[in-house]
Chains A and B, each alone.
Chain A
Amino acid sequence: MKKSFIFILIPTVILALIAYFVGGIDLVLDGLTVASKTAGQSSIMLIVSFVLIGQLNILITKEILDGWLQKFSGIKGIIISAFAGGLFPGGPYIYYPFIQSFNNKGIPFYIFIAFIMGKNVYDISRVPMEISLVDPKISLVRYLVTLPIPILIAMITRRFFQGKAMDDVFISPGEKE
């Protein structure tokens, strides 16, 4: 977690400096205002979602998850994860900690990516906004042409990494904290 924090802190400081040189202290303050507004709007949602994540972690034990993954692995697991991602409410500050919390339970990376891509592409909570603010016809075309994307990306990922967990794919043994 310490490494992740340092990793995100560096670009934050760099962008704050760029904002300072581009638009002075006012632009930096604008950025901080946008950030605090988003944080303020999301604070209750964040607390509730972490309560939910905590309860889910108790309810869904490694044994239960193993059972599901054995039952719903492969293409069936990919489809279920992708649609579950699409139904999952909240922003990235909610679904990343949620799916990350299953990482130490050995969830395969392709299931992880199916969930993330499903959330990014299908996100059911965005449908009314997309229809009303863009165009219903374009929205329909967009959903139809992007429907296979999470499933295809997860299938490619499965082909590359088989059943490996995310930590085994992206974090070398020496990096594990």
Chain B
Amino acid sequence: MNQTTIILSGAAIILIFVNARKSGKQVEGFKSGLKLLLNSLSLIICAFILAGMIEVLIPVEFVENWLSKGAGLKGIFLGTFGGMLLAMGPYAAFPIIGSILSAGAGWGTVVALITGWCLLGLSKAPFETAFGGIKFYVYKTLISIPFCFAAGLLAHLAQMVLV
């Protein structure tokens, strides 16, 4: 059992006690949660499969090589969209980003890469479209892109000033 599960379990136990004391509706809460889980299960399973297909279809080496060549403003641009392509969780994405930094990428590229992964990462897209709809996904993506560039640019300027 990982740390997140332990925290969530602790929070759930506390809330069950609070609901039991406050309204006595803790069983209703269980039913509500179970109903929501059953309603969302097909979506979640499908999203897991989609995320798995994305992960195997985007070669890690391709992203790594493509971004290592980037530098400066070009690197920020490449980093933003490269981060989007890093369709994987933090355990897989951060070592790749670390290796790109070690390969000589600038702060701007790396920060754009992390921000692009955080805000645009394709691994989240199945859940975003499933729960928010396509219009929400498009809105979130379009509004996030300039901020990824801005974050990369600020980091690039910070490197120029500080290093």
Binding site for B on A (CB under 8 A): 1, 4-5, 7-9, 11-12, 15-16, 18-19, 22-23, 27-28, 30-36, 38-39, 44-59, 89-94, 96-97, 100-101, 113, 116-117, 120-121, 123, 125-126, 129-130, 133-135, 138, 141-142, 145-146, 149, 152-153, 156-157, 166, 170-171
- Interface contact A170-B133, CB-CB below 8 Å: yes
- Rounded to whole angstroms, the CA-CA distance of A132 and B4 in the bound complex is 19
- Interface contact B33-A5, CB-CB below 8 Å: no
Report chain A residues within 8 Å CB of B25.
58
- Interface contact A126-B90, CB-CB below 8 Å: yes
Question: B140 near A: Cβ within 8 Å?
Answer: yes
- Interface contact B51-A47, CB-CB below 8 Å: no
Report chain B residues within 8 Å CB of A51.
12, 16, 29-30, 33
What DSSP secondary structure best describes chain A's contact surface? helix
Report chain B residues within 8 Å CB of A157.
143
Residue in A44, A89, A101 with the greatest tally of chain B CB atoms within 10 Å: A89
Nearest CB of A to B87, in Å: 10
In the complex formed, the residue of A with least CB distance to B17 is: A55
- Rounded to whole angstroms, the CA-CA distance of A36 and B143 in the bound complex is 32
Question: B160 near A: Cβ within 8 Å?
Answer: no
Report chain A residues within 8 Å CB of B37.
46-47, 50
Report chain A residues within 8 Å CB of B11.
52
